[in-house]
Chain A
Amino acid sequence: MNPIIQVRGLSKSFGKKQVLNNIDLDIQPGQIIGYIGPNGAGKSTTVKILTALDGEFEGEVLVDGIDVRKDPLAVKRIVGYIPETAEIYDVLTPMDFLNLVGNLHDMEPEIIKERATNMLRHFGLEGNLDKRMDTFSKGMKQKVLIISGLIHNPKLIFMDEPLTGLDANTVIMLKEIISKLSEKGKTIFYSSHMMDIVEKVSDRIILINNGSIIADGSFEALKQQRGESLEKVFTSLTGNRNYSDKAEDFLNAFNQ
């Protein structure tokens, strides 16, 4: 099978600062990728390039065999993007919003309506279809955002901290949705800082630091090399190992 994402020699810099440094990456369809790294490591920059939002980089990036710079629209057609910040036109209702999104994906009006209604209902929002989202809680907005990323049945889905604000039941449901999507051959690119969730959800974990991939493999493989939890793997690769000492130092500040 052809990889859905092929990256060769990807580099990018803002002014003098090198954000991405010669990244190579192949991702097969149906994989759930846990994409992790410290703040400022270059995670969101990679996602922007892979979703064809940002065409200013060096190297070659193919998504489903399409060059993201040559035909960004074709890439955007098969990509679903769920951004981290709950940015949403919140004076619209969920139906207004999903109608906008569905139309931008050239979906038939009846299909948009049906899918949006069903998906919202499954998330428990059936009573809020036509209420403005400015009255919604963070979790409710997040649900609408998740639907807006999935409604056009994309092949490749990017999620950035998708669990923000969701209650425990919805978290369980979303995890199930993710694994079922992958069974159907969808590829999911999941970035988060919550290691315990990434650990459970992903088939493959990619750790990026200072613009380079410093670890790549299944959780099992990483565990054998570096320690029993993803958290431990993460800190051992990206930071100081002695967080216990650091915590001690932190508390010692009281003695001064």
Chain B
Amino acid sequence: MNNLLLKLVFLFRPLFEKLGVQTHKMKVILDAKLKMDSRRTSMLTRGFNNSKKNSYVNIITTVYYFIMGLFLMVVCFIVIEDTTSAIAIYQTIWIILLSLTLISDFTDVLIDVRDNYILLPRPVNDRTLTVSRIVHIFLYLLRLFVPFIVPGLIFMIIDQGILGTSLFLIQNLLSVVFSIFLVNILYLSILKYANQQKFKEIINYFQISFIIITMTIYYLLPNLIDFTNLEGFNIMDNTWSYFLPGTWIANLWALLIEGNFAMPNMIMAGLGIFVPFASLYIIIKGLSKDFSQKLIGIGQGSTEVVREKKTEKNSLKNWWRKRITKVGEERAGFDLAWLMTARSRDYKLRTYAMFGFIPVLFVYFIALYGEGTFAERWEALQASHQYLFLIYICIYSAFVPIMNLQYSEKFKAAWLFQALPLAQPGKLIKGSVKAMIARFVIPIFIISTVFVITIWGMETLDDIIIGFINILFICALAGKMLLKEMPFSQSWTTQNKGDTVVWSFAIMFILGAVGFMHWLIVDYFLIVLLWGILFSFLTWWIFKEYK
């Protein structure tokens, strides 16, 4: 497979030579990189101890991309009648998907810091390194997205024949080139202003937002698209679309297949060819030197102090720690969890992304509630008990952070806990759970409360209080049952062991039961009161049992 790809790439050897590439060296670099890619995927399995799980993951991603491609194909080509418009939408989404994937998943493919030590000291020119890098990214994306492109191509073959399909394929490739350019520019501009540490942090936030955006689209889009209006949609009717690279590339179709020689189409089609090639030219000619120089800079530790100290005494952390933890192991656990969850990128990526569910669910349960005009829906909403959802939504801000507490990339640093004479390690865990409550649950709960009171008024106050007690109860229970190990002491690859999975389902079930009970008793004040007392006691008791 790799050899075949390389052979295909080197059909362009004369072009590479013209660009000043040392083709022999490019070939060995690509060969090594492709080898690494194909081995890296199987690297994952080492943590799982069985290779079946990995091929399983591969199949799932393949199926996932295939379904996405199928969905996009149906939305574009079957619903929209005008082919150029369909291709425009298709290419635009394709470019977005490619760029986001490049940013979120493949920082290693885009920038491998090891190249600094391995490739740069060798007699290889910048042009060779850049072209190899771009071709490598290109091949990587193509391999990954084959299942995504296939449905569109099949449709094209059936609907338009060979000629149309070839053009469509070329259009897809042009989009890939353009996306690579886009992401390169983004990286270069971030690198210009940030050192390595900050660079990674910024990319981290891109990754988090990528996951959130994907989830939002996944859950909400089917509700929001009005399929009936799409049929007669024509992209050229909308001025905004003139600025989309997807439209430019799509107009090649209008020009070459439909023979539409109107002025706007011609200009767009011209841009569609010109921009991807111009961007390739810019990357290779203009940015090579820059990029290598910047890469060297990445390795160089800057001497500036990364974080200026905030006034420690007045921080939110200190306000809480004094009020909710006892001196000793508990406070140490609180401090550790607070600081680590704020700073370690791996934790943030896996946890903060989950918070993306909160606004999504909010929209789902509140904004999309009822039917009819805004006023009708508002009334229906006020008459409903939807606020219970709003109150319990913030369990998302509790469950995942607590569950993820025991994992870390730097899990080896947990030797510390083994070296320390900890009489009651549970207290440390208790402190870390409390940190999660103070750091994530309470702020989000306060925001929900503001919404609830604004929409439903003060009479929901008893429910809010009961809800809060229940959430604390779930947090305490989750910490007690899920955190079997010291905080940050396990590798992420050991995540989802049988035990934890069972318990997390059990706790989700208990949460459901508690929420349902709440809904049942919502109108009986006395029972609500008794419930509150009982669960406060239970929470207190569970926290006492952390040893």
Residue numbers in A under 8 Å from B119 (CB-CB): 104
Q: Tell me the minimal C-beta distance from B93 to chain A in angstroms.
A: 33
Q: Is B53 an interface residue (CB 8 A)?
A: no
Q: How far is the CA of A17 from the CA of B303 in the complex (A)?
A: 9
Q: Tell me the minimal C-beta distance from B194 to chain A in angstroms.
A: 14
Q: How far is the CA of A77 from the CA of B28 in the complex (A)?
A: 17
Q: Which of A84-92, A167-175, A179-187 lies at the binding interface?
A: A84-92
Q: How far is the CA of A76 from the CA of B296 in the complex (A)?
A: 15
Q: Which of B31-39, B354-362, B473-481 lies at the binding interface?
A: B31-39
Residue numbers in A under 8 Å from B122 (CB-CB): 76, 101, 104-105
The answer to whether B123 touches A56 (Cβ under 8 A) is no
CB proximity to A under 8 Å, residues B1-35: 24-25, 28-29, 31-32, 35
Q: How far is the CA of A24 from the CA of B300 in the complex (A)?
A: 23
The answer to whether B123 touches A91 (Cβ under 8 A) is no
A-B contact count (CB 8 A): 81
Q: Is B326 an interface residue (CB 8 A)?
A: no
Q: How far is the CA of A17 from the CA of B125 in the complex (A)?
A: 30
Given A76-B123, A100-B29, answer yes or no on A91-B293 (Cβ-Cβ < 8 Å). no
Given A53-B120, A104-B28, A134-B43, answer yes or no on A91-B114 (Cβ-Cβ < 8 Å). no
Q: How far is the CA of A14 from the CA of B39 in the complex (A)?
A: 38
Q: How far is the CA of A35 from the CA of B117 in the complex (A)?
A: 19
Q: Tell me the minimal C-beta distance from B17 to chain A in angstroms.
A: 16
Q: Is A113 an interface residue (CB 8 A)?
A: no
Residue numbers in A under 8 Å from B35 (CB-CB): 91-92, 96
Q: How far is the CA of A79 from the CA of B122 in the complex (A)?
A: 8
Binary interface encoding of chain B residues 525-547 relative to chain A, with 1 for a CB under 8 A from any of its CBs, else 0: 00000000000000000000000
The answer to whether B116 touches A81 (Cβ under 8 A) is no
The answer to whether A89 touches B32 (Cβ under 8 A) is yes
Q: Is A202 an interface residue (CB 8 A)?
A: no
Residue numbers in B under 8 Å from A44 (CB-CB): 300
Q: Is B121 an interface residue (CB 8 A)?
A: yes
Q: Tell me the minimal C-beta distance from B297 to chain A in angstroms.
A: 9
Q: Is B309 an interface residue (CB 8 A)?
A: no
Q: Tell me the minimal C-beta distance from A225 to chain B in angstroms.
A: 31
Q: Tell me the minimal C-beta distance from B457 to chain A in angstroms.
A: 57
Indicate which residue in A40, A73, A92, A97 contacts B125 across the interface (CB closer than 8 Å): A73
Q: How far is the CA of A105 from the CA of B118 in the complex (A)?
A: 12
Residue numbers in B under 8 Å from A101 (CB-CB): 118, 122
The answer to whether A91 touches B124 (Cβ under 8 A) is no
The answer to whether A87 touches B121 (Cβ under 8 A) is no
Residue numbers in B under 8 Å from A53 (CB-CB): 116, 120-121, 296
Q: How far is the CA of A183 from the CA of B121 in the complex (A)?
A: 25
Q: Is B302 an interface residue (CB 8 A)?
A: yes
Given A76-B123, A89-B118, A91-B39, answer yes or no on A103-B293 (Cβ-Cβ < 8 Å). no
Q: How far is the CA of A87 from the CA of B117 in the complex (A)?
A: 7
Q: Is A132 an interface residue (CB 8 A)?
A: yes
Q: Is B40 an interface residue (CB 8 A)?
A: yes
Residue numbers in A under 8 Å from B114 (CB-CB): 87-89
The answer to whether B303 touches A76 (Cβ under 8 A) is no
Residue of A nearest to B25 (CB): A104
The answer to whether B303 touches A14 (Cβ under 8 A) is yes
Binary interface encoding of chain B residues 80-121 relative to chain A, with 1 for a CB under 8 A from any of its CBs, else 0: 000000000000000000000000000000000110111111
The answer to whether A103 touches B118 (Cβ under 8 A) is no
The answer to whether A104 touches B123 (Cβ under 8 A) is yes
Q: Tell me the minimal C-beta distance from B416 to chain A in angstroms.
A: 20
Residue numbers in A under 8 Å from B124 (CB-CB): 73, 76, 104
CB proximity to B under 8 Å, residues A113-163: 132, 134, 148
Indicate which residue in A48, A73, A89 contacts B36 across the interface (CB closer than 8 Å): A89
Q: How far is the CA of A228 from the CA of B385 in the complex (A)?
A: 84
Residue numbers in A under 8 Å from B28 (CB-CB): 99-100, 103-104
Residue of B nearest to A44 (CB): B300
Q: Is A83 an interface residue (CB 8 A)?
A: yes
Q: Is A51 an interface residue (CB 8 A)?
A: yes
Residue numbers in B under 8 Å from A83 (CB-CB): 117, 121
Residue numbers in A under 8 Å from B125 (CB-CB): 73
Indicate which residue in B24, B39, B43 contacts A103 across the interface (CB closer than 8 Å): B24
Q: How far is the CA of A55 from the CA of B296 in the complex (A)?
A: 10
Which of B29, B43, B121, B303 has the most chain A CB atoms closer than 10 A to its own CB? B121
Q: How far is the CA of A85 from the CA of B116 in the complex (A)?
A: 11
Residue numbers in B under 8 Å from A176 (CB-CB): none
Q: Is A58 an interface residue (CB 8 A)?
A: no
Q: How far is the CA of A66 from the CA of B474 in the complex (A)?
A: 70
Q: How far is the CA of A88 from the CA of B25 in the complex (A)?
A: 18
Which of B32, B40, B123, B125 has the most chain A CB atoms closer than 10 A to its own CB? B123
Indicate which residue in B40, B118, B123, B296 contacts A48 across the interface (CB closer than 8 Å): B296
Q: Is A196 an interface residue (CB 8 A)?
A: no
Q: Is A26 an interface residue (CB 8 A)?
A: no
Q: How far is the CA of A101 from the CA of B25 in the complex (A)?
A: 10
Residue numbers in B under 8 Å from A148 (CB-CB): 118
Residue numbers in B under 8 Å from A132 (CB-CB): 39
Residue numbers in A under 8 Å from B117 (CB-CB): 81, 83, 85, 87
Residue numbers in A under 8 Å from B303 (CB-CB): 14, 17, 40
CB proximity to A under 8 Å, residues B34-55: 35-36, 39-40, 43
Q: How far is the CA of A239 from the CA of B39 in the complex (A)?
A: 48
Residue numbers in A under 8 Å from B123 (CB-CB): 73-74, 76-77, 104-106
Indicate which residue in B43, B113, B300 contacts A91 across the interface (CB closer than 8 Å): B43
The answer to whether B32 touches A96 (Cβ under 8 A) is yes
Q: How far is the CA of A76 from the CA of B329 in the complex (A)?
A: 55
Q: How far is the CA of A135 from the CA of B151 in the complex (A)?
A: 41
Pick 26 A–B contacts, CB within 8 A, sort by A. A44-B300, A48-B296, A54-B296, A55-B293, A73-B123, A73-B125, A76-B123, A79-B121, A81-B121, A87-B113, A87-B114, A87-B117, A87-B118, A89-B32, A89-B114, A91-B39, A91-B40, A92-B32, A97-B32, A100-B28, A100-B118, A103-B24, A104-B25, A104-B122, A104-B123, A134-B43
A81-B117, A104-B119 given; 6 more Cβ-contact pairs under 8 Å: A54-B296, A55-B293, A74-B123, A87-B118, A89-B32, A106-B25
**Residues in chain B within 8 A of chain A (CB atoms):** 24-25, 28-29, 31-32, 35-36, 39-40, 43, 113-114, 116-125, 293, 296, 300, 302-303
